[in-house]
Structure 1
Amino acid sequence: MRVMILYASLGMGHISAAKALSQAFSCFPGIEVLSEDALAYASLVYRNAVIQAYKNSSEKVPQLYKALYEGSDISDLERSLDSNLVWAKLELPFFRRLGRLIRETAPDAIVCVQQIPSRLLQLLEPEDKVSKPQYVVVTDLIAHSTWLNYGVDGYFLPNDLSANILKQRGLDPAILHVTGIPVKLEISQPKSKSEVRSRRHLPQDLSIVTLFGGGLNSRRVYAIVSSLLETLTSAMIVVVAGRNEDLLETLTDLTDSTHVRLSKLGTIDYVDDLIVASDLIITKAGGLITSEILARGTPTIIVDPIPGQEEQNADVIAAAGAGVQLRLLEMVAPAVTYLLNHPERLNQMRQSALEIGKPDAALKIAQHILSDWRSRTKMLQPSKI
């Protein structure tokens, strides 16, 4: 069986989900996995325009992005399906190479982890329609109507809330599967906090607070870290800049304080180890990073979520008791201090996170798709007389 995973490189979350699913499918014998960025098969003009529009609206004019996001979430099923079809018709002329890719690779199933490739599949030329069934993996904690398209054989959803919303909108419950957002397979394997700290040369006797700053404003991170250095005692702060190229430079003059150690990291390949090693994490509310944190049961403080899907993600996490969302930066240091001084509260948050975390989501999705494909294949075989 050949599986095609399609994503769009708008943010790291979709890429991470595609990688996790690739890992999961590769665990099964006889499966060939192809993972492709749909934007790589778009015209350069379209690709640059979409990337810049997303970046500028979500980061520079977030309230406009919020208005567009909420305004495009259509509750009526037929209207939402037709709206997404119209968008696909407008985009299709820029994606002629995508149909050719699918025709030439002839996958047995296509799995989409972002909205753009999913809606384009509705309009492939007849000669390109060699790939059935088609599945959609929702990578936000609430399913927006832009994920819904004609011809989808199954939706894999993060939680019961999203499933109930889509049922209320009229989708067939038989194609709605609550699995969680796919995270890398190593997260399903147990790790010891002390062993991970030893491996990463982190102190065993200090509380560790990790701040993932890849998608945050550098000056706002500076303010948070400065306040933590002044407020905390017997702690270590780890700042991960990731793709935020300006962050490390902005933090240059910040160093250890009397009672707090500071570690500043760029791009790392051991995010999961750091999540396990941490007592508390400060982050935005991207669907993938929060899913990874929840799956490990690490308490979270959410700051500066992008209006729209990240605000909804933050609401889901806060409502479950797995984290807190703070609007004022001045409240981050007091919140961290309170939580570290109240281990019983941190433990409650850990338990709540584990209750909604789904470390085996990728494997569940892969298993369901393979089982579905085998059932369909068996039905197409001629019966023996």
Structure 2
Amino acid sequence: MKKILLLSVSAGAGHVRAAEAIRAYAHLGDTPLEVVHLDVMQYVTAGFRKLYTDFYIKLVNNAPALWGYLYNFTNDAQADSSIEKLRKKLERMNARALLKEIAEFNPDAIICTHFLPAEILSRLLNKGVVNYPVWVQVTDFDLHRMWVHEGMAGYFAANEEVAFRMRAQGIAAEKISVSGIPIMPGFAAVASREECAAEFGLDARRTTILLMGGGAGLGSLDTIAARLLKLEGDFQLIVMAGKNEAALAALQALSLRYPGRVLPQGFTHKVERLMACADLVVTKPGGLTTSECLAMGLPMIVNAPIPGQEERNADFLLEQGVALKAFDAVTLEYRIRYLLDNPARLAEMSTKARALGRAAAGRQVLDAVLAKCP
């Protein structure tokens, strides 16, 4: 039985979700596999974890411009600069517990959905301390320099442009696969719109807008939803509040004022079934969420991109004609009015989105790794 180790980092949800998608495909295949997924942050000191995850989340929420500067600064930094040496030293000091766990599992292959474990393992591979084949799955439609390391068995790119950037960084072409970004198997075989709409009490015949995020001038979810419900047209809203209980309560109160037009949703594992009911999604341009939308053929209005990786994601989606961008509540209202009044444009965006979708990326990644397993 082959043993596959997935390594992610819980700095944002996307890296973890990509690893979970690959693991889900492992359970569906015919080949007997033992697959373990580890969050690297569970094997570092509390101080390092706070710096790496809590600080990141606070920075992107409270000082996004500063995060954008750091994203570009670290992308351009020389590998032998004093700051880079200090960063790598801190990472090495916090790697001991993780390396012990890896050695005990003794995998046939490792897949990293975050650059941190790839960087740690790259140094040890080059020194001959470890000899596991290590693969890297990039989880955005961009390539930051910190994803690129010596000694990797292979790389998985979101699209052809990311693969081109990998080759420009010196990665051999034969080590690169254009797989897409792994999303859960459910997105590859979703039930019909009619069946999913009936499950949630929605009208499958009505235009449906899925609202997945606010912020950055748009306002709270209930405020955005209330504003949109005043627009002309026969449409219904699905609003996903995730684990934000206050937002969910406010949305539930709003749904009482607009019976049959608002479906508030808390945290759910049925995202693909909700997306199957929708004609348009309003969302932040994270790599995983937008990959899910593309797999479902859903046009997007993207908002509040994190400077750096999400801005690059948004640029890609806009260039491909599958998304519009809203930078405040007024712009969002205009964009939605425009698309509701131009169903042909909405249909064109949907067709382009579906053409870009890679619903089975997780299977492709797993198959490629297993094919090269010793």
Flag whether TM exceeds 0.5 (same fold): yes
| C-alpha spacing 1:158/1:101, structure 2 compared with 1 (3 Å) | same
Secondary structure of the 2:242 match is coil
Q: What is aligned with 1:363?
A: 363
- The whole-number CA distance in structure 2 between the counterparts of 1:288 and 1:182 is 8
Which deviates the most, 246-255 or 294-303? Answer: 246-255
Q: Which residue of 1 aligns with 2:42?
A: 40
- Residues 335-384 of structure 1: CA deviation (Å, up to 9, x unaligned): 112212322111110111011111111111111111111xxx3xxxxxxx
Show CA shifts across 1:54-76 (max 9, x none): 01111100000011112211398
Match of 1:193 in 2: 193
Secondary structure of 1:136's aligned partner: strand
The separation in 1 between residues aligned to 2:334 and 2:256, in whole angstroms, is 19
SS at 1:11 equivalent:
coil
Q: 2:96 and 2:6 mapped to 1: Cα distance?
A: 18
Secondary structure at the counterpart of residue 213 of structure 1: coil
Alignment deviations for residues 226-279 of structure 1 (CA, whole Å, 9 cap, x no partner) = 220111421111110013344234546534667971222211121000111101
**2:98 is aligned with 1:103:** no
Look up the match of 2:55. Answer: 53
Alignment TM-score, normalising by the size of structure 2: 0.92
Which AA in structure 1 matches 2:102? I
Q: Which stretch shows the higher mean deviation, 23-32 or 11-20?
A: 23-32
Q: Which residue does the alignment assign to 2:7? A: 6
Farther-moved stretch of structure 1 (247-256 vs 277-286):
247-256
**Contact 1:62 1:307 (8 Å CA) reproduced:** yes
- Given that residues 25 and 363 in structure 2 are in contact (C-alpha distance below 8 angstroms), is that contact kept between their aligned partners in structure 1? yes
Question: Equivalents in 2 of 1:56, 1:211: separation in Å?
Answer: 23
Distance 1:80 1:311, change over 3 A: farther
Q: Residue 183 of structure 2 aligns with which residue? A: 183
- The residue type paired with residue 31 of structure 1 is L
Report the equivalent of 2:25.
Answer: 24
Q: 1:80 and 1:179 mapped to 2: Cα distance? A: 32
CA distance in 1, matches of 2:85, 2:153: 16
Look up the match of 2:236: 236
Q: What secondary structure, in the 3-state scheme, does the structure 1 residue paired with 2:221 have?
A: helix
How far is the alpha carbon of 1:301 from its aligned partner?
0.7
Deviations 1:84-106 (A, max 9, x none): 67633321212210010011110
Give the distance between the partners of 2:75 and 2:127, measured in 1 at CA.
33
SS of 1:170 mapped into structure 2: coil
Counterparts of residues 293-312 of structure 1 (less than 5 Å): 293-312=293-312
- Does the 8 A contact of 1:135 with 1:154 survive in 2? yes
Deviation string, structure 1 residues 129-186 (Cα, Å, up to 9, x no partner): 4552100000011111111112211010000011111222322111111110001111
Aligned partner letter, 1:360: A
Task: Give how far 1:82 is off.
Answer: 11
Tell me, what secondary structure is at the counterpart of 2:285? coil
Q: How does 1:133-152 map to 2 (within 5 A)?
A: 133-152=133-152
Instruction: For 1:329 and 1:217, locate their aligned partners in 2 and report how far apart those are by CA, in whole Å.
Output: 6
AA at the equivalent of 1:329: A
- CA offset at residue 216 of structure 1? 7.3
| Residue identity (%) | 30
Task: Map 1:186-225 to 2 at 5 A.
Answer: 186-213=186-213, 219-225=219-225
1:15 correspondence with 2:16: yes
Partner of 2:72: 70
Aligned to 1:380: none
Question: Runs of 5+ in structure 1 lacking a partner?
Answer: 378-385
Residue 106 of structure 1 contacts residue 130 of structure 1 at CA under 8 Å; is this kept in 2? Answer: no
Aligned residues: 372
Q: 1:117 to 1:46 in 2, by over 3 A?
A: same
Give the AA of the match of 1:7: S
Q: Provide the rounded CA distance (Å) in 1 between the counterparts of 2:82 and 2:359.
A: 35
**Pairing 1:148-167 to 2, within 5 Å after superposition:** 148-167=148-167
Summarize the Cα distance change of 1:106–1:128 in structure 2 as closer, same or farther, 3 Å threshold: farther
Please state whether the residue corresponding to 1:240 is helix, strand or coil.
strand
- Whole-angstrom CA distance in 2 between matches of 1:244 and 1:57: 19
Q: Which residue is 2:328 aligned to?
A: 328
Contact 1:102 1:130 in 2 (8 A): no
1:34 counterpart letter in structure 2? V
TM-score normalized by the length of structure 1: 0.89
More displaced 10-residue stretch of structure 1: 152-161 or 126-135: 126-135
Residues 264 and 190 of structure 1, relative CA distance in 2, 3 Å threshold: closer
1:81–1:342 distance in 2 versus 1, CA, 3 Å: farther
